[in-house]
Amino acid sequence: MRSARRIVCLLFAALLCIGVAAWGDAPTVFDQGVAAYAKGDFKAAKDLFLKALEEQPGHMLIMCWVGSASLQAGELADAEKYLTEVLAKKSDYPEAHNNLGNVYLAQGKLDLAEQSYQKAIAQESDYADARYNLANLYAKQKQWDAAFNEFNRAIGLAPNDADIHRNFGHALWQAGQLDKAIREYEAANKLQPKDPEVLNALGVLYLNSGDNAAAVRAYEQAVEGEPNMAEAQLGLGIALYNLGKFADAVQPLAAASTLEESSFAAKYNLGLAFAATGDLEAAEKTYRGALMLQPEHAKCLNNLGWVLQQSGQPDSAIEPLQKAVEADPKLDMAHVNLALAYEQAGDNEAARKQWENTAARFPQNADGHFGLANSYYAGGENDKALQEYLRALAIEEKNPEAHNNVGLIYLQQSNFVEAAVHFRTALEQNPGFANAANNQGVALERQDKVEEAKEMYRKALSIDPDCESAKKNLQRLESAAETATG
């Protein structure tokens, strides 16, 4: 349905076509009614139009105004009564048919609404508003082809009408045609800039399409026009977070959380932003607030557990992580974090069981195999550890710690060539890994590549001058060389 402003324009245009003289002695009362209608005071407008009707009983144009005011006031029975009476006197009145269609639509009488709009169009084929209303009716019924056909016809008749483009965009969005929806919302925005609802819709669509930069621009304009629009503040925060602008994301997410205290999404995403900025205390508080709204949200429970781990509270982390695993047994990172929490809390037996369970349940999760490998390695079960490290690396090849540990196991097995390969890879993946450089030196030295070994020890010391192993190894080789030449 059209706004009050648009209905006023339509009916007032029809009135002017008749001529002011047709109103007899009632122009003042009628003008007051029009003024009240234009201000949105529809009940007052209706009373004034009824007074005008008392002076001109049965006057169909005044009756039409009464019907329209009743419609806008939500008094649908009166609206139907007066508009029906108007059409009984003048059946070829497209504006009345259109407004009666709006009444039927509001009443949920969709078949009658369609008939009324069709009658309006039959009497005036270029009646853009009737086609627009018919398009909205079809969209409400998810009759997309018919809706899009009428939207296109309405736009052809009124190409500069922002409302038509906006609702066409909404229908396209509902139908899953997001690219076309963006096009129509952009057209609406050009015709009627700074409409927060349109800008928010654009922000959502850009966000869903992965264009976070465009989403930020749209959302920023939306909140500039309507700072209290919680949905736009939330979207802005998410888009900024996706761009890696974590600190910038905090303010709009906090605003969304304040504006809509029952919004789990606002609190959850605010927790993400706080955690990403390193404000773990604020993240913990925010996640706990989110869990007050959705106590069994697995990802939020997992994130709370992670924050507690990072804050040095592994014992406190165990409970929310256990709940996360129970709430969503398929959430692999909750299983990983729970094993880490047991490990950090010193419960190695529980950690081992959890790592074994995680690796078995999620065979494609590299972290699960890596954690289990570390558990085996710490327990001296090197053969099992090697298998799990290699499984982890087969899934995710970039893991310098895993490569270094594989190298250490190969070194213990006297497989110096393979050990050197993994130490070198660890150092390539993490050029600041001093221990890997030192270990590479050991593997080279065991192959009698003394000069190359010296270079690696020196490299380890250039990375970390306090690397004691590299200092001792280099001193030993240099002392041996001096003795040999002395």
Q: Tell me 334's DSSP state.
A: H
- Specify the CATH architecture of the domain 1-124: Alpha Horseshoe (1.25)
Cα gap 25→56, rounded to integer Å: 9
Cα gap 290→320, rounded to integer Å: 13
pLDDT at 332 over 60: yes
Topology at the third CATH level for domain 397-486? 1.25.40
> For the chain, what is the mean pLDDT?
92
Query: Which string of DSSP letters, residue by residue, matches 16-53?
Result: HHH-GGGGTT-HHHHHHHHHHHHTT-HHHHHHHHHHHH
Coil, helix or strand at residue 149: helix
Lowest mean pLDDT among 46-60, 261-275, 367-381: 46-60
Q: Residue ranges per domain, the chain?
A: 1-124, 194-294, 312-396, 397-486
Report pLDDT digits (tens) over 119-153.
Answer: 999 999 999 999 999 999 999 999 999 999 999 99
pLDDT at 401 over 50: yes
- Dmax over CA atoms of the chain, in Å, equals 129
Give phi and psi for 297, each to the nearest 5.
-75, 110
Lowest mean pLDDT among 15-24, 27-36, 256-265, 435-444: 15-24
- Tell me the percentage of the chain whose pLDDT exceeds 70: 93
- Specify the CATH architecture of the domain 312-396: Alpha Horseshoe (1.25)
pLDDT at 18 over 60: no
Question: Burial, 281: exposed, middle or buried (Cβ in 10 Å; 0-12, 13-18, 19+)?
Answer: exposed
Query: Which string of DSSP letters, residue by residue, matches 155-193?
Result: HHH-TT-HHHHHHHHHHHHHTT-HHHHHHHHHHHHHHST
Q: What is the pLDDT of residue 12?
A: 28
Question: Burial, 242: exposed, middle or buried (Cβ in 10 Å; 0-12, 13-18, 19+)?
Answer: middle
Q: Give the residue-averaged pLDDT of 443-463.
A: 96
Cα gap 69→222, rounded to integer Å: 32
Q: What is the pLDDT of residue 31?
A: 87
**Domain 194-294, CATH homologous superfamily name and number:** Tetratricopeptide repeat domain (1.25.40.10)
The amino acid that residue 485 corresponds to is: T
- Tell me the percentage of the chain whose pLDDT exceeds 90: 90
Q: What is the pLDDT of residue 482?
A: 64
Cα gap 173→148, rounded to integer Å: 12
Q: What is the pLDDT of residue 92?
A: 93
Q: Give the residue-averaged pLDDT of 412-425.
A: 97
> How many other CB atoms are there within 10 angstroms of residue 140's CB atom?
15
The pLDDT confidence band at residue 47, using thresholds 50, 70 and 90, is very high
The pLDDT confidence band at residue 4, using thresholds 50, 70 and 90, is very low
Q: Do domains 312-396 and 397-486 have the same CATH topology?
A: yes
The conformational region for residue 448 under phi > 0 = left, psi -120 to 50 = alpha, else beta, is left
Q: Give the residue-averaged pLDDT of 186-210.
A: 96
Q: What is the pLDDT of residue 240?
A: 98
Cα gap 65→99, rounded to integer Å: 10
CB within 8 Å of 303: residues ≥ 6 apart: 268, 271, 272, 275, 283, 287
Q: What is the pLDDT of residue 222?
A: 98
pLDDT at 9 over 50: no
Q: What is the pLDDT of residue 484?
A: 57
The pLDDT confidence band at residue 61, using thresholds 50, 70 and 90, is confident
Cα gap 290→22, rounded to integer Å: 64
Lowest mean pLDDT among 27-41, 135-149, 369-383: 27-41
Report pLDDT digits (tens) over 341-374.
Answer: 999 999 999 999 999 999 999 999 999 999 999 9
How far from 229 is each of 91, 138, 200, CA to CA, in Å? 45, 29, 9
